[in-house]
């Protein structure tokens, strides 16, 4: 793959995902995941209160919102890591309510975590091999009979090595995962999730703590997932990244879906800017600092001028 940013920009966005007017809860042409009336209370606080939302298939959907909007809680509910107080949600038309997390993963819906969960004292290769499903050697009674599982284990190992090469982690294969940098752990976690050949990959803040050099390659990997026919849903704070790769954006605030739509339109919606982004936050830090030559909206340009004035004032 290429880490050339111009090549990345050229990839076309998937369009025509919805039917009818763009509004929160709009029906999708081909939804992979549908949530209905999902609510989660923590004491008096309603963390998640989603009336209806559909995730389009074969597309990259971003879930954005301010801190405390309930994005990660919603993730946990969808993947079986937490149980909602009420609500129904289905994956490929199959209801997921009451299904434990490990079964959800087996159905083809895998997730990563905001705080990376690399298995520190396992080698990178073992981390990867753990991701494969339906391993015969994982059954207790056959585990000490290697002739039953050796062939399958070799196939898994070959697949793991392929993925490690794609993610440029092959040189690290014998190292403990604990010795990887934060960004490499993010890559490892994503690669490990792919071992199970999922249909829907849910990434919780894939860019958090990743240095700019790795960001571009991570973005490429996420775009590759779509090319390979997978569906991606990710939570992210980096607006530059959202605009760059997302085909569809869902905005949450205070547990509710307040807006959704294609990235260019949804980020201009006044409701989104007011309720979530504020007046300043839709400018990527990279644009502000001049690291990225971003396309500036009128509001952003105004803000840049403002910032320069403030900076001059302090000097």
Partner 1 sequence: MDILQILSNTAAQILNPTTIGFVLAAIGLAVHFGFTGLLNMGVAGFMAVGAYGFAISILTFGLPWWVGALIGIGAAVVFALILGIPTLRLRGDYLAVVTIAAAEVVRLLFLTTAFREVTGSADGLSGFHTDFRASNPLPAFSGNVGFGPWTYSRDQWWVIIVGTALVLIVLLFVWALMRSPWGRVIKGIREDEDAVRALGKNVFSFKMQALVVGGVIIALGGIVTAMGTNVNPNVYVTSQTFYIWTALLLGGAATIFGPVLGAVLFWVVRAFLSNLLPALVNIGALPFLSGEQAQMLVFVLIGLALMLIVIFRPQGILGNRKELTFVK
Does 159 participate in binding partner 1 (rule CB under 8 A)? no
Does 79 participate in binding partner 1 (rule CB under 8 A)? yes
Candidate residues 46, 90, 135, 281; the one interacting with partner 1 per rule CB under 8 A: 135
Give the interface segment with partner 1, choosing from 89-97, 103-111, 231-239, 305-313 (CB under 8 A). 103-111
Does 119 participate in binding partner 1 (rule CB under 8 A)? yes
Which residue, 36 or 153, is less far from partner 1 as judged by CB? 153
Which residue, 44 or 102, is less far from partner 1 as judged by CB? 102
Q: How far is the CB of 183 from partner 1 (least distance, A)?
A: 17
Q: How far is the CB of 231 from partner 1 (least distance, A)?
A: 17
Does 155 participate in binding partner 1 (rule CB under 8 A)? no
Q: How far is the CB of 133 from partner 1 (least distance, A)?
A: 5
* Beta strand pairing call for 31-42 and 86-91: antiparallel
Give the interface segment with partner 1, choosing from 48-56, 85-93, 127-135, 217-225 (CB under 8 A). 127-135
Give the interface segment with partner 1, choosing from 50-58, 82-90, 133-141, 252-260 (CB under 8 A). 133-141
Maximum distance among all Cα pairs of the chain, rounded to whole angstroms: 74
Candidate residues 158, 178, 271, 285; the one interacting with partner 1 per rule CB under 8 A: 178
Does 173 participate in binding partner 1 (rule CB under 8 A)? no
Does 147 participate in binding partner 1 (rule CB under 8 A)? no
Residues making contact with partner 1 (CB under 8 A): 79, 81, 100-103, 105-106, 110-113, 117-122, 126-127, 129-131, 133, 135-140, 143-144, 146, 149, 153, 176, 178-179, 189, 192-193, 195-196
């Amino acid at each position: 793959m290429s880490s050339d940013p111009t090549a990345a920009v050229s990839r076309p966005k998937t369009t025509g995902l919805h039917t009818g007017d763009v509004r929160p809860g709009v029906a999708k042409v081909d939804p992979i995941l549908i949530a209905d009336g999902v609510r989660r209370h923590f004491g008096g606080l309603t963390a998640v209160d989603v009336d209806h939302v559909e995730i389009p298939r074969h597309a990259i959907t971003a879930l954005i919102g301010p801190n405390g909007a309930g994005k990660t809680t919603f993730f946990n509910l969808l993947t079986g890591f937490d149980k909602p107080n009420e609500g129904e949600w289905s994956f490929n038309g199959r209801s997921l309510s009451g299904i434990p997390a490990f079964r959800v993963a087996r159905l083809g819906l895998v997730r990563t975590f905001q705080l990376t969960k690399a298995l520190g004292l396992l080698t990178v290769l073992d981390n990867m091999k753990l991701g494969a499903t339906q391993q015969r050697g994982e059954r207790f009674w056959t585990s000490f009979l290697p002739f039953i599982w050796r062939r399958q284990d070799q196939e898994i190992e070959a697949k793991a090595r392929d993925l490690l090469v794609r993610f440029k982690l092959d040189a690290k294969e014998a190292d403990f995962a604990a010795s990887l940098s934060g960004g490499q752990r993010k890559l490892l976690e994503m690669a490990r999730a792919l071992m199970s050949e999922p249909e829907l990959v849910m990434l919780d803040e894939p860019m958090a703590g990743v240095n700019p050099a790795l960001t571009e390659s991570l973005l490429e990997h996420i775009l590759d997932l779509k090319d390979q026919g997978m569906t991606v849903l990710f939570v992210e704070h980096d607006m530059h990244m959202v605009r760059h790769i997302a085909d569809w954006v869902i905005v949450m605030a205070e547990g509710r879906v307040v807006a959704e739509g294609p990235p260019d339109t949804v980020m201009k919606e006044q409701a989104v800017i007011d309720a979530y982004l504020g007046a300043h936050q839709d400018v990527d830090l990279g644009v502000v600092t001049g690291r990225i030559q971003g396309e500036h909206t009128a509001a952003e340009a105004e803000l840049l001028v403002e910032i320069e004035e403030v900076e001059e004032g302090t000097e």
